């Protein structure tokens, strides 16, 4: 469902993107080319700052927002998801937040008020809040990262983790093509 927010903003979805009919896109949302938005995802840009303004939620080209993901912003803050990034099932990305290119965010992970560098992998059930994750970091499952000191214990992405991230992005890119092909069958 595509709907306007109270400020009058309407999502903009590129023709090549696929948005599942059960997903909700509301407000100042920009979906770039070949993006996959899975079932029951909610992407909502509707809160304004003290001046009545808001930044957009932008989902970069070739990214995938999987089933049940929630993306929202507080007080007019924005969310930028880079190109070729995977946000896995039931994750929450709450702005202000920037996620770089080719990032993998695992199941049930929460990102809030943070920056995640490109080519990073954040595994399942983790929390990243109030810090900046450098380029190519690997955050293991169930990690709680709340400061730069927490990041000091984190290692760089291994080739296996990078390959896994790429395979998830590629599989979801193929889903865009498949669902676009059968969209009139719903």
pLDDT tens for each residue of 167-185 = 666 766 676 777 767 665 5
Report the chain's mean pLDDT, rounded to a whole number: 89
Average pLDDT over residues 32-51: 95
pTM (two decimals): 0.86
Domain housing 6: 2-185
| Tokens 């309407």, located at residue | 10
**Lowest model confidence (mean pLDDT) among 12-16, 73-77, 103-107:** 73-77
Domain count, the chain: 1
Beta carbons within 8 Å of 135's beta carbon, 6+ residues apart: 100, 117, 118, 119, 120
**Within 10 A of 106 (CB to CB), how many other CB atoms are there?**
23
In sequence order, the 6+-apart residues with CB closer than 8 A to the CB of 149 are: none
Rounded CA separation 139/135 (Å)? 12
pLDDT tens readout for residues 92-143: 999 999 999 999 999 999 999 999 999 999 999 999 999 999 999 989 999 9
Q: What is the CATH number of the domain that holds 159?
A: 2.160.10.10
């Amino acid at each position: 469902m595509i709907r306007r927010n109270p400020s009058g903003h309407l999502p903009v979805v590129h023709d090549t993107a696929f948005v599942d009919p059960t997903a909700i896109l509301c407000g100042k949302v920009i979906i770039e080319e070949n993006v996959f938005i899975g079932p029951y995802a909610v992407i909502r840009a509707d809160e304004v700052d003290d001046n009545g303004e808001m930044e957009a939620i932008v989902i970069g080209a070739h990214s995938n927002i999987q089933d049940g993901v929630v993306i929202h912003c507080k007080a007019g803050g924005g969310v930028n998801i880079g190109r070729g990034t995977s946000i896995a099932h039931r994750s929450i990305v709450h702005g202000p937040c920037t996620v770089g290119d080719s990032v993998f965010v695992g199941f049930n992970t929460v990102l809030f008020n943070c920056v995640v560098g490109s080519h990073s992998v954040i595994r399942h059930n983790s929390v990243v809040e109030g810090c900046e994750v450098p380029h190519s970091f690997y955050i293991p499952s169930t990690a709680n990262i709340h400061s730069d000191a927490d990041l000091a214990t984190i290692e760089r992405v291994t080739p296996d983790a990078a390959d896994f991230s790429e395979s998830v992005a590629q599989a979801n890119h193929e889903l865009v093509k498949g669902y676009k092909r059968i969209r009139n069958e719903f």
